[in-house]
Structure 1
Amino acid sequence: MQNGLLSAALAYVVWGLFPLYFHQLSQIGAFELVLHRTLWALGFLLLVLAWRKQWQWLSHAFRQPRVLVLYATSATLLSVNWLIYVWAVNHQHVLEASLGYFINPLVNVLLGVLVLRERPRPVQWAALTLAAGAVLWMSWHTGAPPWIALALALTFGLYGLIKKTAPLDALEGLTLETLLLATVAAPVLLAWDLGGHSALAGAPGSLWGWLLLAGPLTAVPLLLFGHGARRIPLGTLGLLQYISPSLQFLLGVWLFHEPLQSTRLVGFALIWLALLLYSGETLWRTRRAA
């Protein structure tokens, strides 16, 4: 239990500090950065598989079209989520990105209703209503919905929905996803470089050093999360997931000095209240069941 708690918490801390990393690569466009992130992550995962001598599943997976379609879909959602997140961080939208991951648990509940035909409990309905009110409030005061937050929450929510029924474990599933993405990313990146669009032409070695970290920084938190999720109660995992957007929120306000108007703060407060209701009720039911 303690080992799983530490693993999951560490994964969320790393994800919460991601804006610091992507800020170091701000001179690289989000599209090019996601292409590199895919390839370096794949290289790291292949090294892990080689060290563990864990190759048997790969040929079996490629003989199952349904598995390939499932992971191609999850890989597409993951890459779109990465692209939006990197663009948001590099264009001073860290606060709105953090809002997306605050909303994400409530989007999961909504997807459960719409896709899995689940029946939310009354407190969950109240949390969803508050979250919808927060989005409407922000839309009314800013003149447009918080598209970045909604897109991040929806893509990651759909990604989690697919992974819920996916047949492979964390390491194998992530490897297959990045392998499928790499079949597109590699030729696109090559054409991007040959076309003279790369921001890395003549880049200093330090920038390449930061870029090489994309592999382990992408894979390790996901592997830690997979390790921890199997060892701690779902209610505890649900509470830990707020570590990441909380850290992003603090970085956006105090380090990147993004404006936090009072109207925007009201929207965040409504989301936090919704999460308090949702998490408190989940924790109460988990303890009662235990």
Structure 2
Amino acid sequence: MPEFNRGVALGAGAFLLWGFAALYWPFLSAAQPAEILAHRMVWSLLAMCVFLMLARRGWKWLPGVVRSPRRLLPVAAAAVLISLNWWGFIYSVSTEQTLQASLAYFINPLMAVCLGVVLFSERLRAAQWTAVVLGLLAVVVMAVGYGVTPWLALLMASSFAAYGAVKKYVDLDGMQSLTVETLVMFLPALGYVLYLEFSGAGTVVSVSPAHTALLVGSGFVTALPLLMFGVAARRLPLSVIGMLQYIAPTIMFFIGWLVQGEEMPPARWAGFALVWLALCVFAFDQVRGARARSAQRRRAENPAVEPCD
């Protein structure tokens, strides 16, 4: 499979998992969002250790990263940014504000596209610009539908767009980068978990075995899509990553509307329709571009034979 297609498949898979993750965190409602976030950080490191063992990657590469500030700082920045994003997402879905999480990830692709143009000089075709404008209009319509500035959505959108951009500066593969990210946040998170347990405010052993299992499982629910995203981010331009991200908020939209019963005024319906129109324009452009690239490859592999005199 070509690198571009593999990146699209991994990116789409990551956002599918993120979309359905909105159903996971409400099961942990006995814990506060900050405690859930700490457990995500702690158990994500365990998940990455398991993935490394399954992949037989080993740890010989790690000391070189830890001893090099130039290599470690971008990963540490990515860890902080994704932690902010995690907290916002947990808080929104745990308090039945999943539609605000959906709005966040509708905004985020636009931020990712803008960062791609500004930081990496990526160029968009006319159809891609059309999709971006439609997406921007959809976000404005949905924001008006809330009646207030959706600060939670803006926090999630900006932190994740910045996370995707910072990953471009990380000279590690997806598995190594995510392992270091979880390692950076492990000690602060573990310290907070222990503090909660010794103070009697923690829930890891005081609720139920199912609750404990879900807290442990949060590491794998967290690490797998992030691992897929990290690999995809290194294979795809930010403009493509930005458009793929519409998958997750679409799923969150249906969860918020159909499962959690959040209100759907006309403005939100209008915004959702505009988003789907933007997706159709982008998908058409992607299919047309793929066909053009395929035709170019066929011509390069089978050049026309010039007639002999």
Normalized against structure 2, the TM-score is what?
A: 0.81
> Pick from 32, 47, 68: which aligns with 1:44?
47
Partner of 1:84: 88
1-side partners of 2:81 and 2:155: how far apart? 10
1:144 is aligned, of 148, 153, 163, to 148
Residues 1:176 and 1:232: Cα distance change in structure 2 (over 3 Å): closer
Normalised TM-score (structure 1)? 0.86
Number of the residue aligned with 2:174 = 170
Deviation per residue, 1:97-153 (Å, 9 max, x gap): 123223332221111233334444433333333333333334444332333333222
Contact 1:85 / 1:97 at 8 angstroms: preserved in 2?
yes
1:184/1:230 CA distance change after superposition, 3 Å: closer
| SS of the residue 1:56 aligns to | coil
Q: Is contact 2:44–2:223 with CA below 8 Å preserved after alignment?
A: yes
Question: 1:231 Cα deviation (Å)?
Answer: 8.5
Which runs of no fewer than 5 residues in structure 2 stay unpaired?
295-309
Partner deviation per Cα, 1:51-95 (whole Å, 9 max, x = no partner) = 525111100101110111101100011000000001010011112
Cα distance change of structure 1 residues 189 and 273 upon mapping to structure 2, 3 Å threshold: same
- Which AA in structure 1 matches 2:25? F
Q: Are 1:138 and 1:264, in contact at CA under 8 Å, matched by a contact in 2?
A: yes
What's 1:103 paired with? 107
Change (3 A) 1:53 1:235: closer
- Confirm or deny: 8 A CA contact 2:110 2:136 kept in the other structure: no
Q: Secondary structure at the match of 1:187?
A: helix
Measured in 1, the distance between the counterparts of 2:272 and 2:168 equals 28
Q: Which has the larger radius of gyration?
A: 2
Larger mean CA deviation between 130-139 and 65-74 belongs to 130-139
Aligned to 2:23: 20
| Cα distance in 2 between the residues matched to 1:233 and 1:156 | 15
Work out the CA distance in 2 between the residues paired with 1:283 and 1:109: 19
**Quick one: distance in 2 between partners of 1:243 and 1:142?**
21
Change (3 A) 1:197 1:273: same
Whichever residue aligns with residue 45 of structure 2, its letter is: L
Contact 2:105/2:249 (CA < 8 Å) preserved in 1? Answer: yes
Greater alpha carbon shift after TM alignment, 90-99 vs 108-117:
108-117
* 1:60-139 equivalence runs, <5 A: 60-139=64-143
Q: Paired residues, what number?
A: 290
Judge which range, 279-288 or 92-101, deviates more. Answer: 279-288
Q: Does 1:266 align with 2:264?
A: no
Moved more, 167-176 or 49-58: 49-58
TM alignment of 1:170-249, pairs within 5 A: 170-200=174-204, 202-225=206-229, 241-249=245-253
